[in-house]
Amino acid sequence: MNTDPTFHEQYAFFSDRKDQETLNALLAEIIPLPLEEIRFEFPNRPNESFSHINDRNRKIILSLPGSEKISSVEGSFSDGGTFSFRGATLGIEIPTDQYNFELSEAMRKFLSPTFSICIFRNQYIWAVDLYYPFERELLNETRNFVFRSKHLEEPQIDIFRRDDGIVFKIRFHIDPEANFEQGLRIIHPMFEEIRESLRKNSYETLEILSLYCSDRKLFRQFSPRTKWGIKLKPLLFDSRENQTRW
């Protein structure tokens, strides 16, 4: 994989909710974390920044989405890592020399009905977490596609209930020459379509992902029947290492 060695982990969370709802959700999760600084860009007045977050400026920050139009939010975490929010997309980067385990663990909380798609990359693999409103029938019908790997650098598909939703956690490889921005342009629209296929009770994309993780020979032989499967299969990178392994 063609990764930037200066970053240990990179995240992009996507929201399709209204601006104020998205900002409220973002700040509710960001503000409790140890912050070095948070900066707000406004279209109609000078930008504003806060450091050494305390109860007083925390209240000011949380009130901003209801009183101001905000163009973007950026900042840094006290123990390493930066974040930026613009256009309903939240990006988080954790440099290799500032790896922040607690921040990595906190990333799980961002996945929600508001930020329903998370795309992640580290030095070894890409991943997508997809949040879908809970439906018992959907969970029961998709659990058979689960394939858990013992190694974090290998493809995996996991499906489970969390609170009022279903989380689809998927690890995979794409074109090793793709950088993070190129990968986002490929992966994000594809998983928007996978979410559409779930709404229509079509699970072929999950079947393809499960075969990709569990049986590479059958994956290569599989012929997609739906428009979603036809788009997904070529996206998944079948490396020489995996070819010899399978």
DSSP string, the chain: ----TTEEEEEEEEE-S-HHHHHHHHHHHHTTS-EEEEEEE-SSS--EEEES--HHHHHHHHHHHHHS--SEEEEEETTS-EEEEETTEEEEEEEGGG--HHHHHHHHHH-SSSEEEEEEEESS-EEEEEEEE--HHHHHHHGGG-B--SSTTS-EEEEEEETTEEEEEEEE---TT--HHHHHHHHHHHHHHHHHHHHTT--HHHHHHHHHHH-HHHHHH----SHHHHHHHHHS---HHHHHH-
Instruction: Using pLDDT thresholds of 50, 70 and 90, give the confidence band for residue 98.
Output: confident
- For residue 6, pLDDT over 90 is answered with no
Please report the pLDDT score of residue 110 as a whole number: 86
Q: Which of 32-36, 177-181, 221-225 has the highest mean pLDDT?
A: 221-225
In this predicted structure, the answer to whether residue 214 has a pLDDT above a threshold of 90 is: yes
Does 245 score more than 50 pLDDT?
A: no
